Chains A and B, each alone.
Chain A
Amino acid sequence: MVIIRDLYEDPSFFYDILYSYVESGIPIVAAMHTKSHAVTIIGHGPVESAVSTVNALATRPTFLNARHCSRSLVINNDNYLPFQHLAADEQMQTIHNLNDVDGFVVPLYEKMYLAADNVLKIYPKWVAMNLIDVKVASTYISRVFMTSSRSYKRSLAKAKSMNPVFRRAQLDLPMPKFIWIVELAEPSVYDRQQANYRWILDATANPREKYSFLLIHDDEKMIINDRAYRDKIYEVPLSNGINQFSLFENNLGRYL
């Protein structure tokens, strides 16, 4: 898939899309038109404190993309040694910086119809339309990425601290080969490498479908879309609330 910055009115949205694919662990070829060069993005730099990141903002959005907590991306630039940094922050001195990237190519499996921009556009609407009631008093760090359902379910098997009803529902629910995940975390929770909410979407869904999600939830209920067997949407109460749970980190390993 080819994504170009000029396609979007807000350049920041373009970088949110790029970050979602980086967070998915998919190598990206990033084009820098003004530099007549291209590099491969393979990861992101150390994750900074979300509390400090949010406190430094002039305005407090409901959802802040997780890319703001990382000051750089990790690249392979064929003119230099591997594992260089591409600064996302103007204060950082690197050979190129994120603003130089004006397009990228991301290799996707042919059935991945739902793209990152679709996911980034739609998930805030579920809250805005009261499909789910997320406490909007706080800014949430939103981490959006794709993974395989196999890798995801394997991670669930180890997630012992998760609400058992929530965990079991996800394990039970048939999922396609690839899924999108939206993780939302209050800044202090994110700094503990945990999340408050995790919503799952079908990466093979048509972007024009109204219900591309598989499971969304708030503190009191889950809304589950059984796309495999009955084509029904269920609302399931979470009588014990939702415990905070560990961020999904099977895509990119964290070493800092």
Chain B
Amino acid sequence: MSKEVKVQFSFEKQAKVLEKGSGKLKNYESYFEKSILPEIIEIEKRKITAKDKAYQLRVS
């Protein structure tokens, strides 16, 4: 007996599937790779140093 649970969302009948890597998602994906991701990576790198900097903040 198959244990697969078939899920049907209420919106699926009217929905159109947007293929990743094509159409308007392609533009967004390439923008994400070129502009957003480098910025996120840079911030993540800086956050790693935040803990070290936090030790320098002397609070009472």
Number of A-B contacts (CB under 8 A): 112
B contact residues, total (Cβ < 8 Å): 38
A-B contact pairs, 28 of them (CB 8 A): A3-B47, A7-B43, A7-B47, A31-B54, A36-B58, A36-B59, A36-B60, A118-B40, A125-B28, A125-B36, A129-B27, A131-B28, A165-B10, A168-B11, A172-B10, A172-B11, A207-B44, A210-B28, A210-B32, A222-B11, A224-B11, A224-B15, A232-B17, A233-B25, A234-B17, A235-B16, A236-B11, A236-B16
Do the beta carbons of B47 and A235 come within 8 Å of each other?
Answer: no
Q: Which residues of A contact B (CB under 8 A)?
A: 1-4, 6-8, 31-33, 36-38, 102-103, 105, 115, 117-118, 121-122, 125-126, 129-131, 165, 168-169, 172-173, 207-208, 210-211, 222-224, 226, 229, 232-237
Q: Which of B24, B29, B37, B51 contacts A208 (CB 8 A)?
A: B37
**How distant is the Cα of A156 from the Cα of B12 in the complex, in angstroms?**
20
Q: Is the interface of B mostly helix, strand, loop or mixed?
A: helix
Do the beta carbons of A234 and B47 come within 8 Å of each other?
Answer: no
Do the beta carbons of A207 and B54 come within 8 Å of each other?
Answer: no
